Amino acid sequence: MKLRSAEAFCRVVELGGIVPAAEAMFCVPSNITKMIKELESELRKPLFDRYKGRLSVTPFGKQYYQDVSQLLELSDKIHKKHQKGADVSTLTIGAIDVAIDFWLPRRVVGFMQENSHIRVNLINAYSRVLEEKLINRQLDMIFSDGPILSPEVTSALAFEERLVLVGHPERVNASPIPLYSFGKECLYSDMVERWHAEQPAGKYQMTQMESYQTMLLLAENNFGIGFIPERVLGERAAETEQYQQACISCNVYLAWHRFIKHQSMASMLDYLQVEY
């Protein structure tokens, strides 16, 4: 079915004749007549009864009008939707938890206030997953541990971060002492394991704990120790200064595909004042 022919039929029904339908569709009446005849030929049923040059809709035509008018309405909505959004672009950003929860929110709001035509999608994942998705072009840019060394990726420092050791080992009534850390997929785990390897053998035991809040409560209640990003601790970071025994640098880097740089990406890099 041709939508143009269906529209011609509907206009004749709605406006009461071929001439007004032709005027509404900016064509000559003969074109309307031709389209309706072609439509009737395809349907193999008459849409109009014709008597002395006058048209009246057949029972089949009335039912067909109800169905096809809904189709035309849907077609119009789809057209208007995409016409309205023709200049709207989407920027898909992946980020580790410390960035997506504690650094990005205000910046995303500020960016969208200045770039209302760009929609931002935010995806949370571990660094390794983010980097893989970036290289596979599933993400436009990522905020990950770094710097990221890849011939396909460009990266720049987004913000400085460090893991702060919380808890009092001397107060823990357990041997070995639980050392809480995220799972293997998280690069923080690698950093904590390197710290662990430098400690006296058998003193600590790596224990998976994928919740900073639970990790902090366990440490505060002397069930073990753990490393928590300083931004997650917030104001409580200052309270840990008196008993923290170590800090591990874990700066967060912004990275994007070296060979892809569309306008929405450029706008975000400009907003963040990153050279590219």
**pTM check: above 0.85:** no
d(Cα 172, Cα 222) in Å, to the nearest integer? 5
Question: What is the rounded average pLDDT for all residues in the chain?
Answer: 88
Would you mind telling me the total number of residues written for the chain in this entry?
Answer: 276
d(Cα 120, Cα 182) in Å, to the nearest integer? 28
**Could you report the per-residue pLDDT of 145-179, keeping only the tens digit for each?**
877 778 888 889 999 999 999 999 999 999 999 99
Locate tokens 């357990």: which residue? 174
Contact between 123 and 93 (Cβ < 8 Å): yes
Q: Assign domain 162-249 to its CATH superfamily.
A: Periplasmic binding protein-like II (3.40.190.10)
Say what the pLDDT of residue 179 is.
96
226: β partners: 166, 180
Residues 6+ apart with CB under 8 A from 246: 165, 195
Contact between 137 and 257 (Cβ < 8 Å): yes
Number of H helices, E strands in the chain: 12, 12
- Report whether pLDDT(37) > 80: yes
CA neighbours closer than 13 Å in the CB half-sphere of residue 204: 22
What Cα–Cα distance (Å) separates residue 114 from each residue in 118, 135, 206, 264, 267?
A: 9, 28, 45, 12, 10
- Report whether pLDDT(80) > 80: no
| Tokens representing residue 202 in the block | 């058998």
Average pLDDT over residues 35-49: 92
- Report whether pLDDT(276) > 80: no
| Tokens representing residue 67 in the block | 């169905």
| Tokens representing residue 39 in the block | 């439509």
- Report whether pLDDT(222) > 60: yes
- Report whether pLDDT(87) > 80: no
159: β partners: 252
Contact between 204 and 176 (Cβ < 8 Å): yes
Say what the pLDDT of residue 111 is.
93
Bridge-based pairing of strands 252-257 and 141-145 is antiparallel
**CATH 1.10.10.10 location in the chain:** 3-84
Nearest alpha carbon to residue 200 among 176, 170, 224:
176
d(Cα 91, Cα 106) in Å, to the nearest integer? 16
What is the CATH code of the structural domain delimited by 3-84? 1.10.10.10
**Could you report the per-residue pLDDT of 243-273, keeping only the tens digit for each?**
555 788 999 999 998 877 788 998 999 898 8
**CATH 3.40.190.10 location in the chain:** 89-148+257-271, 162-249
Amino acid letter, 231 = R
| Tokens representing residue 73 in the block | 């309405």
What Cα–Cα distance (Å) separates residue 251 from each residue in 85, 146, 235, 272?
A: 37, 7, 19, 16
Report, at the CATH architecture level, how domain 89-148+257-271 is classified.
3-Layer(aba) Sandwich (3.40)
Amino acid letter, 249 = S
CA neighbours closer than 13 Å in the CB half-sphere of residue 259: 6
